[in-house]
Amino acid sequence: MNYRAERFEATDGVRPPGELRLEGLVKAYGHVVALRGVSLLFRPGLTGIVGDNGAGKSTLLKILSGVETPDAGTIQLNGRPIALSTPAAARRAGIESLYQDLALADTLDVGGNIFLGRELTKSVLGLRVLKRRLMVTQARETISRLNIDIPDVRVAVRTLSGGQRQAVALARAVHFNAPVILMDEPTAALGPRETAAVVEIVRQLVGAGKLVIMVTHDIPRIVQLAHRIVVMRAGRVAFEVAASQTSPDELLAFMVGSKVAAGGGA
């Protein structure tokens, strides 16, 4: 299928990155070591990250989204070191997150959450005034593009279902057209129709040259969708493979440790 890349042309001059490189990332919470020297190279396309609970995959996404900072290691975007000390810093670097624990503002409406921290304003008598009508219009257009059922973008996010809340987070990532998109279980709380819509958006993002990283437990689906798959186990990269050259059974074997990559693995 020929996906329409023009639907996701950048509006802020940001171009898709050539690569996102992680070198020796370490993260510990007291005596619990979540990441043990993780080094990975991501290029445009979809990379799936799989692993059992506690493997370190969500910690890795938290670091890339600016929610956590690593204890050691470096992150480079297009060969330049970047510091992702906060979610705002990650967004400025061109990284948007659809992350389950990255809370939305419950008291704001859907449009307010999509534009949170990047509100559209105009000057009136020297004061900055919100362009509320324009934000509502653009929020409605973005939700419509995603083909996900949210009856009114003017309702408070606290009234939405879990699946609808994920849709708002996805809409925020898509609306600002970031070159790097992080997704943590983006379809976990969605029904079949909403899941199909999210999968289509992911395919269109990839077709537009975006760099998409998805953490998921849905191994059969990620084998079908992804270009590459990374298996994490006990805070390390246990296996990396082209999706076309593996199977769910092989990935599960690396996840539980019954199979180890040549050279030592995890």
Tell me the pLDDT tens digit for each residue of 11-22: 344 455 579 999
The per-residue pLDDT for range 128-150, each reduced to its tens digit, is 888 999 999 999 998 887 777 78
Check residue 185 and give its pLDDT.
86
**Residue 87 pLDDT exceeds 90:** no
Closest C-alpha to 115, from 151, 147, 153: 153
Domains in the chain: boundaries: 16-94+180-188+226-266, 103-177
User: Of 55-59, 165-169, 188-192, 232-236, which gets the smallest average pLDDT?
Assistant: 188-192
Cα–Cα distance between 19 and 73 in angstroms, integer?
17
Residue 244 has pLDDT above 70, yes or no: yes
Looking at domain 16-94+180-188+226-266, its CATH superfamily turns out to be: P-loop containing nucleotide triphosphate hydrolases (3.40.50.300)
Query: Where does the chain show beta strands of DSSP type E?
Result: 20-29, 32-42, 45-50, 72-77, 80-81, 95-98, 121-124, 127-130, 180-184, 211-215, 228-233, 236-242
Mean pLDDT of 197-224: 89
261 secondary structure, DSSP code: -
Q: What's the whole-model pTM score?
A: 0.81
First-residue to last-residue Cα distance in the chain: 37
